[in-house]
A and B are shown apart, each in its own frame.
Chain A
Amino acid sequence: MIDAKIPKGDLDNKWVDYKGHCKLVNPANKRKMEVIVVGTGLAGASAAASLGEMGYKVKAFCFQDSPRRAHSIAAQGGINAAKNYQNDGDSVFRLFYDTIKGGDYRSREANVHRLAEVSSNIIDQCVAQGVPFAREYGGLLSNRSFGGTQVQRTFYAAGQTGQQLLIGAYQALERQVALGNVQMFARHEMLDVVKVDGKAKGIIARNLVTGELERHFGYAVLLCTGGYGNVYYLSTNAMGSNVTAAWKAHKQGAFFANPCFTQIHPTCIPVSGDHQSKLTLMSESLRNDGRIWVPKNVGETRKANEIPDADRDYFLERRYPAFGNLVPRDVASRAAKERCDAGYGVGTSKQAVYLDYAAAIERYGKIEISKKGLSNASQEEIIALGKEVVKEKYGNLFTMYAKITGENPYEVPMRIYPAVHYTMGGLWVDYELQTSVPGLYALGEANFSDHGANRLGASALMQGLSDGYFVIPYTLGNNLADEIYNAPIPTSHPAFEAAEKIVAERIAKLKNINGKQSVESFHKRLGKIIWNECGMSRTEAGLKQAIADVQALKKEFWSDVRIPGEINEYNPELDKANRVADFIELGELMCVDALAREESCGGHFREEYQTPEGEALRDDENFMYVAAWELKNEHEWALHKEELKYEVIQPSQRNYK
């Protein structure tokens, strides 16, 4: 059993007590302490900015051309906070409870409670920075609802909430750059963690423009590098999103927790063909107003608009009357897959269901008519006004759908299908967000701690900013307070020398394979294996086969990949090769983890373990733990368990009916 260092005391007071008693670093000492932050999404940018404001000397790294590009920018729907501005019964406890339940009782109570506690501060901070959240006519902040909850606690900025929050954090970061507290290294990729006497004391980074390797010292290293959804090749992640920094940390001894907990998002634009390079999410907020259905008859040939209501199966409303179209993501995805597998899918591939706005357009139209006092309005006028309202709420999403598919979603129902979106698993961290390597931290999606086996919508932005703005500023100081007695380590130290040599040798080895197949082709093949066997449903036999397949793919990759260009130049193919090599190794671990977890929970659905109604069947007796994997040798991991103790919430079978 591993110890998460959760503070003693009542759940309500743990974080308050921790903050009251943690060690501090005085301002003069902070100025002398360098800290490394890798990744500049919501977690990284907010951490780098906050630590810079506090006086630390921060070095921040991102692989994109600017910190503003990090993939947090693509988050659409919103950010949760327990403000209870709607007077609809929300509270810190309810946000905490919904998150634990949504995660199917596989997350850590103390971390989730802290997340709910600081959620309100996040909104205040963002407003102060000038984030233009949606507002009501009275000038106050607007809210909407999201999956897995029955209150309205989601703050948003049209369909671009992630963009606006990231720009807020990015601006705070750039302000610290201007003040000289943060040094920014864009177009840099971290390729190893440097350890001295067992503690993380720096990184080896590659300048992606020149190809040069650089050594950077830091009293602590914070990995804010996002999730690993791109292991599936097709996902809603950005093309560059990768696991490399986290994987290097894993190779240096950091445990990797619950890697098989991945989130398949129900509302994405379906795959159109083999050329597909990525999938596009249609925000969960669309499930607020859209109705999801398939035809009642197998082999239905009529167009969607010609199928009468009596011949439609609104399967989420039918199966889950209490939550309807707003069930959590894992439940909605599996239900859609079930219908498609049973032959009711729509579109040319039959791997899609309808997301229909006709009813919402009419409903909003009628409200407008009544507001305007137009009692004699025709049906056409009602529809036209309704479309205006829908356009204001979801316009950018509808436009995006039209551009990608060539269809007009105001006229015909959208076709959607689940796609890989988020990874709940990640580097194991304790209550202080420290990994099993002292001095090495993981924040945001890169860690595993808050979402259990399934993340609720609008909670990723909340967690990234919670970790960066409000958690790490306290927990880092608690550990760095003891480091002030240690002098900075020069980058000429043998540990830096050795780490750089290993990185250089690996790059040279990759480059010298000189095989015939492109990096991309290997990535696509890896993605197919993992999607088929470690995707929406998993079986023992399938996972065993996948492990063998991934091992074979690894051999083939290291003997036949072709990387054009030179090492010491801007070479995106080489960058990609480095990342895909790590994805292949991670893919194996995901299957190992999925095989070992002989239960179904949240996004992890083992076909062998389900209720008669086809819902996930947990085994709390045997699997109420975090699976934290330690790498021993190639293809060999040791399992460490962190027992999950529920002191406040009584786990039960999740029920959204």
Chain B
Amino acid sequence: MKEFLSNRIAATGLAMLMVVIAIALFAPWISPQNPYDLGKLDLMDSRLEPGGKYLLGTDGQGRDMLSAIFYGLRVSLLVGAASGVIALTLGGLLGVLAAYVGGRFESILMRIVDIQLGFPAILVALILIAVLGKGVDKIIFALVCVQWAYYARTARSAALVERGKEYMEAARGLGLSRTRIVLKHLLPNASPPLIVVGTVQVAHAIALEATLSFLGLGLPATEPSLGLLIANGYEYLLSGKYWISMYPGVALLLTILAINLVGDQLRDQLNPRLSRA
């Protein structure tokens, strides 16, 4: 911890992240308006400039941007983190296992990965909407579907390299159990590239959710995430009503910056090889 705080950038990142998480957690209590309650919105207040009654202005429906950003942060963090963690765990484990077990298991798994990689996110999302409807859980499901294969391939490649190394031979020679070898030796040593891809992909998941919303395949418009707010504001970019998409954009940028500053530092610190140096 001391080491962490001694790095000024990382400390700033940590502070930012704490603020972001606090806002997300306490959104319902600190927002001036409940942006999800249609009965509370006033159409006559739409597209108001920042300042006055609404600190950051309002969107096309008369929704207070500040409240919408607070609530949106909550949804975006949930979507990004949940889909990231699930996809990373699932994909990482399967990928490492594929490299270790090999044989038919590896073949079948990697071919499934090939199919999955080819499927555009919008097709997956469209099918899910048609069958299940819209919602946060469905979006997370769609994002996991799209991303797990990516992790699986990355993890497998790293594990393939590690598998050939001497320490693995040694571990096998010692008669350690398979589970132990995979979990205790292979996975940790194959994880550095996975973590890099992971921190980037969490951000990417949030951006991807925004893109799906942009295409009308994302979250319900009445329950906006940061991505959806940006997507809604997109059409106002040329019109001079910058606040409708600029503020959510800045909020998203700061959030992701914070996550990555902390992530970078953590990675350097937790890495067994680097700390040995």
Q: Do A and B bind each other?
A: no
